[in-house]
Amino acid sequence: MSGAEGDGRALRRPRPAGTEVEVTGRAAEPTVVARGATDEESRASAQRVSRAVAEQLIAAGRRGAPTTVPDLPPAADEAADEAQARSRSNDARRRGGPGSRIHRLRVDWHEAGPSALGALSGRIASTGVQIGRGVDGIPVRAALFRPSPTRLVVIGTHRLGRLMLLRAAAAGARPVVLADVPLAWDDFAVRLARTGTGTTVLPAEAPFFMGGSGAEPLFVLHSADDDAQTPYEEESQEGWRCDAVLTPGVGPEVLTAFRLGGLLVTGRLDPADASHLCATRLTGELTPDDLAGLPDGTVAVFADGRARIMRLEESPGEVALLG
């Protein structure tokens, strides 16, 4: 063997034993060699397989393929609501006909004149009788008609007493006057009758103890006329009735009625009457000078130990009836 050949053999890579298989017994064929994969090749093959699987999963997700994770069951409340909705839908389908259809809300209107509204309205007792307006201009009402009898004391002229009667009638009450001088009320009763409101005028000594009702209470005005010392008749104990006492000044009967409670309305008083009234200590913060200096068309109202000054503000209709 020459040196060149020896160098060639020396340069050949030796094959490991057991890795070369020769097939004999036949004509000469090329030698078939099988050798195991190296570690680097195994890792590369595993990476290729993993990459291929990942790409397939990503592609399947993009196509919307169904997932293998089952959906969670609905909550109990949601399941019950769905079952109820399905039940209503099934009931509607079973019923059929108009009941199964949903109709739109129809909005319409009807016009009626004042005369038609008057024919449809019923007469009921008001929640209160307007006495006047406060300094803020808000109407002030008094609940004079209740299931139990009430008392009102009015200190002033006939005009103030008649104004309270008119406003009680406007609130739905039937007016009755028990007067020392019935003739002094005849003209006013005639004017009021022309409006459709009847007024009964009786002598002061007439026994009148009838009560009213929730639909038509009674406003009974006891008029002492020109004498503040004239005692008025005993009030009725029937319900839905207000017994009002009209007197021109402060006398013993007025002071007794004021102490027993109820509502007191007074116009401007003379200094002596103002002092007598304030001596009851039921006039709140008002002084005798306040009561003696009340302007025209203004009254002081007392109830439950509280006092308030109000403006009467007569309406044109009230002025026409008062004369």
Could you tell me how far CA 92 lies from the centroid of its own chain? 36
Q: Among 152, 134, 132, which Cα is nearest to 263's? A: 152
Distances (CA, A) of 244 to 137, 234, 278: 25, 11, 21
What is the chain's mean pLDDT, rounded?
Answer: 76
- Supply the pLDDT for residue 218: 94
CA gap 207, 211 in Å, rounded: 12
Give the tens place of pLDDT for each residue, 91-117.
555 555 554 455 565 656 667 666 665
* Category of 148 on φ-ψ map: left (φ > 0), alpha (ψ -120 to 50) or beta: beta
CA gap 261, 243 in Å, rounded: 13
Higher pLDDT, 6 or 132: 132
Instruction: Evaluate whether 191 touches 323 at the Cβ level (below 8 Å).
Output: yes
CATH 3.40.50.300 correct for 147-206+214-322 = yes
Give the tens place of pLDDT for each residue, 197-256.
889 999 988 888 888 888 889 999 999 865 555 545 456 678 899 999 999 999 888 888
Query: Which of the residue ranges 12-21, 90-99, 204-213, 311-320 has the most confident prediction, judged by mean pLDDT?
Result: 311-320
The alpha helices in the chain, defined as continuous H runs, are: 3-11, 39-62, 76-95, 114-120, 158-170, 186-193, 252-259, 271-278, 288-292, 316-322
- Supply the pLDDT for residue 157: 92
Distances (CA, A) of 149 to 16, 59, 63: 131, 93, 89
CA gap 318, 323 in Å, rounded: 9
Binning pLDDT at 50, 70 and 90, where does residue 59 land?
low
- The letter for the amino acid at 312 is L
Q: Is the pLDDT of residue 122 over 80?
A: no
